[in-house]
Amino acid sequence: MQNGRAIPLFHASMPPNQPPHPLRSSKANQPDNQSKDRTRRRTSHHPPSIRETIRIDSPIPHADSLLPMLSQLQKTVTFLALLGCFSVGSMAGVQADERPNVLLILVDDLKPALGCYGDSIAKTPNIDSLANRGMRFEMAYCNQAVCAPSRFTLMLGSHSTSTGLYGLGSQLRQIIPDAVTMPQHFAKQGGYRTESLGKTFHIGHGNHGDPESFSVPHFKEKVIEYLEPASTDGGQLTREEAYFTNQMLGRIKTLPRGAAYESPDAKDEDYADGRVAAETIQRLQAAKQRQKTEGTPFFIASGFARPHLPFSAPQKYWDLYDPASLPMPTHETLPVDAPKVAGKRGGEISNYKPVPTEPNADFDDELKRNLIHGYYASVSYVDAQIGKVIKELDRLELLDNTIVVLWGDHGFHLGDLGIWTKHTNYEQANRIPILITAPGVTQPGSSTKQLAESVDIFPTLSELAGLPAPSGPQPIDGVSLVPVLKDSSARVRDHAYHAYPKRQLGRSIRTERYRLVEWKAFDGKGDTAYELYDYQTDPNETKNLASDRPEVVQRLTKILAKYPAPAKRKR
């Protein structure tokens, strides 16, 4: 990757008396002593062997030697930009004292079922086009495969095993009252105006979001939504609608089940994601104006609900797919020798009709096909809404000074291993899309096999915006991916970590080749069970190899042992 080209030029475009800015300065990627100390403290959760052996500093070894060249380069930089000589997005025309804007796109339950991730079924031209603008992380993982905890890991930069925020109803401000979330950090350290639309923090199951995180009131929208009267037995409050609107939480099972999917002839804006896209467009227009008149950078978190269940999407998105050619699950049993605790039956999916309510009941082929069809239709629906937002960003000429991140909060089982939805430590529930476009830093259409976690986004965006690294008070588990954004072959970590609490807590290490899961009681007492999967020889996780490959288990267990003892479950 030709990362070296952009950095000195942006460095050069900065008046010498300005503080260094990471989008334009390689020097800023070399932490000063104070921030080095902070880095050490905040990454203390990571195995020293990894932290100490991987260089995460700038790929430009002698950035300071470029300083005498600044004046000359300064004169030429605009000219070169006008000639379109840069292979990376240009920041030309942006004043040095301006910080880049951030548009954070959160998509609920989105696995990499996207064209840009090689899914040949998915019709996702807009997300594919976004991927073409920046870097795609091929091996990105959530830290816990369920909505609320996953969003906390993103917004805090902390693993759920570090904070104890494991549940859908976990209350952030009760557990860490003074937590500084990513948008708070941007507002406090960078003077950003921070806004939140749709599903950003999880609302429901007793949770009410986090108003403290944003400069203006949250634009709230529905997650569970129906247009067809038949979907709600004629307009009744259904189970999942009640969960997501904090109603009748103690009596959910007395309510009727809503439909798992519907496909009315409807407009995009008839559902929440169409309205979130329309409102995001309005906010971008206002932000552009504000930037002109007041110089205020924006951090807009725009959260989309689909492809979360129910698969309620306009008919035209269902029509993009031929049901007969959809990929049906081929391996529908738990891996051979997997511990029972690792599996998942019933739960969320059973709260929708016509899904069987018996946890161990098999789904018939028609139901499976409809659910898979609904998932893909929902992905295409959300893709179209995201496309409108990106188009507006382009029209407003904001793309050159706006960092765009697309993130799925966790993956999704579509019948593989006999599992539907999420809530496991397996690949399909934990692998997520992460796309990052950072003007002047990322190469268009680049990709990397760097293992990345949700917790990495907070330190990454902070560094890109020239802000101090996040420092808590919550424990910071993420590392900045900026070296990788500059050079796709750079490495800042050699594994990803994720966890899921069930009767026991399952903590997992995912390397490029393997996944180890350790199942243990929260208090560490009693039996321990291990799962080991080799994705080189068994990509579909058909067999637990823990007893066959003790040397690999031992090696990965040593990494896991260096993480702090897991926090207790709290409400």
Residue ranges with strand state E in 418-553: 420-421, 431-437, 446-448, 452-453, 496-501, 505-510, 514-520, 529-534
Query: In a 3-state reduction of DSSP, which class is residue 141?
Result: strand
Cα gap 475→152, rounded to integer Å: 12
Hunting for tokens 């239709």 — which residue is that?
377
Return contacts of 269-274, CB within 8 angstroms, 24+ apart: 270/227, 270/314, 271/225, 271/227, 271/306, 271/312, 271/313, 271/314, 271/381, 272/198, 272/221, 272/222, 272/223, 272/225, 272/305, 273/198, 273/221, 273/304, 273/305, 273/306, 273/381, 273/382, 273/385, 274/385
Q: Give the shortest CB-513-to-Ca ion separation in angstroms.
A: 27
Q: Residue 150 CB, nearest distance to Ca ion (Å)?
A: 6
Helices (H), 245-364: 272-294, 315-318
Identify which of residues 409 and 456 has a Cβ nearer to Ca ion in the complex: 409
Please say if 202 is a catalytic residue: yes
Cα–Cα dist 339/517, whole Å? 10
Q: Is 116 a catalytic residue?
A: no
Q: Which of 11, 21, 142, 147 is catalytic?
A: 147
- Nearest-CB residue for Ca ion: 147
Q: Cβ of residue 506: shortest distance to Ca ion, in angstroms?
A: 18
Furthest-apart CA pair in the chain: how many Å?
74
Is 348 a binding residue for Ca ion by CB under 5 A? The answer is no
Instruction: For the CB of residue 223, give the shortest distance to Ca ion in the complex, in Å.
Output: 9
Q: Could you give the CA distance from residue 300 to residue 286 in angstroms, rounded to a whole number?
A: 12
Of the ranges 24-32, 109-117, 123-131, 436-444, which one interacts with Ca ion (CB under 5 A)? Answer: 109-117
Strand partners, 507: 499, 518
Q: Which is nearer to Ca ion, 147 or 384 (CB)?
A: 147
- Residue 491: count other Cβ atoms within 10 Å of its Cβ: 17
Site for Ca ion, residues 431 to 460, rule: CB under 5 A = none
Nearer to Ca ion, 342 or 432 (CB): 432
The whole-angstrom separation of Cα 338 and Cα 358 is 22
| Candidate segments 16-24, 50-58, 102-110, 327-335, binder of Ca ion by CB under 5 A | 102-110
DSSP-derived secondary structure for 415-432: SGGG-EES-SSSHHHHEE
Nearer CB in complex with Ca ion: 348/531: 348
Q: Which is catalytic among the residues 159, 185, 202, 373?
A: 202
Instruction: Work out which of 10, 14, 109, 197 binds Ca ion, going by CB under 5 A.
Output: 109
State the nearest-atom distance from the C-beta of 26 to Ca ion, in Å. 37
Binding piece for Ca ion, criterion CB under 5 A, among 100-108, 111-119, 315-323, 501-509: 100-108
Task: For Cα atoms 22, 23, 24, give the angle at the middle one, nearest 5 degrees.
Answer: 90
Q: Which is nearer to Ca ion, 109 or 531 (CB)?
A: 109
Cβ 149 to Ca ion shortest distance, Å = 10
Residues 113-172 that bind Ca ion (CB under 5 A): 147
Determine the interface stretch with Ca ion among 107-115, 233-241, 252-260, 348-356 (rule: CB under 5 A): 107-115
How crowded is residue 436: how many other Cβ atoms within 10 Å of its Cβ? 29
Window of 12-20, 174-182, 218-226, 403-411 that interacts with Ca ion by CB under 5 A: 403-411
If the CB atoms of residues 186 and 420 are measured against Ca ion, the closer one turns out to be 420
User: Which residue among 26, 56, 77, 108 contacts Ca ion (CB under 5 A)?
Assistant: 108
Closest approach of Cβ 235 to Ca ion, in Å? Answer: 26
| Residues 538, 542: Cα–Cα separation, whole Å | 7
* Number of neighbours of residue 31 by Cβ within 10 angstroms: 18
Q: How far is the CB of 147 from Ca ion (least distance, A)?
A: 4
Q: Which is nearer to Ca ion, 58 or 144 (CB)?
A: 144
295, two tokens: 């110089």
Site for Ca ion in 407-436 (CB under 5 A): 409
The least CB distance from residue 163 to Ca ion, in Å, is 18
User: Residue 64: which of 138, 11, 142 has the closest Cα?
Assistant: 11
Which listed range, 105-113, 366-374, 515-523, 529-537, lies at the site for Ca ion (CB under 5 A)?
105-113
Q: Rank residues 264 and 346 by Cβ distance to Ca ion and give the closer one.
A: 346
In the complex with Ca ion, the residue whose CB is nearer, 284 or 496, is 496
* Binding-site size, Ca ion (CB under 5 A): 4
In DSSP terms, 434 is beta-bridged to 137, 407
Return the active site residues. Answer: 147, 202
* Contacting residues toward Ca ion, per CB under 5 A: 108-109, 147, 409
